[in-house]
Each structure stands twice: as C-alpha cells, then as structure tokens.
Structure 1
C-alpha cells in the first residue's frame, strides 16, 4: 500500500489538477475554491499528524484530516451532480473513490490510536 503521506499529497494534487479543468464561471467557482482548500488540508494535516507531540495531538490532527476529507467528498459530490461533461464525471468518480478510501483509513487510524491510548492507561 502506498504511504499515506504520499497518498494524501497525491489526492491534493489530483484535486487541484481536476479543478483546473472546471470552467471558470460563477456557478462553479465557489465549489472549486472550497475543494482546493479542503483537499489541500487533507495532505497538509496528515503531514502535520506525523509530527504530533502526543497521542492526543495525533488524534486531534487526524480528526481534522477526517473532516477535510469528508468535506472534499461533499464538494466532489456537488460537482458530480452539476457537471454535464462525461469526461469530468469519470474523473470526479475516481477522486471520490480515493477520498472515501482515505476517509476510511483515517477513521480506522483514529479508532486504533484511541484504543492504544486507552490500553496504555
């Protein structure tokens, strides 16, 4: 399996490259800007989690990744519904699949970290 640091960075880049293909128009701009913001936060906050000062800090940073990945998926779903181009729909579906996989891994990591934290005490 790909290293999560590289995988979340790739997700950020793939979302940015996708957003560059979306028409620059009033109805898309807000969603594109939000997707760029939250998808970049996925990669940045996962990276920050790897430098956490404690288990609690690690969990806290992963919770941010969880929220931002879920938000990325939300904006991808909106773009999937309002976009008319079939080629972009295929790309959105791939990004959604990756976003959901990242989200599932992060949720599992949070559960594991919490269980490990409880078992230490």
Structure 2
C-alpha cells in the first residue's frame, strides 16, 4: 500500500475515507444509522474504485473505474448536503473541502486519460 500512497489521488482518497470513518462514528453515536450507512458506503467506494483503477486492464477500464469513483463522489456530495442542511445532524465542513480536492484530482486525471486515449 505504501507504493500507492505516493500517488496523490490515492493518498487524498485514503485521507478522505479516514475522515469519513470518524464522521460516521459520530453519526452512529447520535443514532443516525441510516445516513451514516449511506455516507460510509458511497464515500469509501470512491477510494475503492480509485484503487481498482490502479490495476486496470486497459486505458478504457482505467477511465471507467475512475468514472465510477466520480459517480460515488457525487452521491457522497448529496449525503453531505443533506447532513449540512438538516438541523438534526452535525456536519464538519472540512469533509466537503476534502471531497472537493478528491473530485478535482479525479476529474483532471479522467480528462487527461481521455485526451491521451485518442
């Protein structure tokens, strides 16, 4: 795993997942189990798909796996928005900031890979 942590996208995805795990524990402590589960699934799926892309079978497979990570990032953004807007939920804005960092890197790599795929 150390080798992969030198990749900025992987590094940010892992950092983000660790932040999310802490947040989900807080949600669960406040008995917000349904949203906690949704956040945990979508947010950690971002990094899982990024890791899968590291062993892609082709450039097209690489792009496809990163696009799935991007979709999971948008789903996570939705859950974060609900948490942020709800008076019954605590929310740490740094989660959205870190998600934005991951999404910007992800989109830059997808665009670059698409340009180099033609």
Range into which the TM-score falls when normalised by the shorter chain: 0.7 to 0.9
C-alpha distance in 1 between matches for 2:64 and 2:88: 38
Unaligned runs of 5+ in 1: none
Query: Could you tell me which of 29, 32, 48 is aligned with 1:44?
Result: 48
| 1:12 aligned residue | 17
**Of residues 52, 65, 85 in structure 2, which corresponds to 1:81?**
85
Supply the distance in 1 between the matched residues of 2:10 and 2:62 (Cα, whole angstroms).
14
Task: List alignment gaps of at least 5 residues for structure 2.
Answer: 1-5
Q: Deviations over 1:47-78 (max 9, x none)?
A: 11111111000000000110011111110111
Question: Is 1:106 the counterpart of 2:69 in the alignment?
Answer: no
**Aligned to 2:8, which of 3, 16, 22?**
3
How far apart in 1 are the matches of 2:100 and 2:37?
A: 20
1:63 corresponding residue in structure 2: 67
How big is each residue's C-alpha offset from its partner over 1:26-48, in whole Å with a ceiling of 9 and x where there is no partner? Answer: xx322211100011101111111
RMSD of aligned residue pairs (Cα, Å): 1.8
For 1:95, the equivalent position in structure 2 comes to 95
Shift of 1:83: 4.0
CA distance in 2: counterparts of 1:59 and 1:32, whole angstroms: 29
Alignment size in residue pairs: 111
When normalised by structure 1's length, the TM-score is 0.84
TM-score by length of 2: 0.86
Could you list the structure 1 runs, at least 4 aligned residues long, displaced by more than 3 angstroms after superposition. Answer: none
Give the 3-state SS of the residue equivalent to 1:20 in structure 2: helix
Structure with higher Rg: it is 1
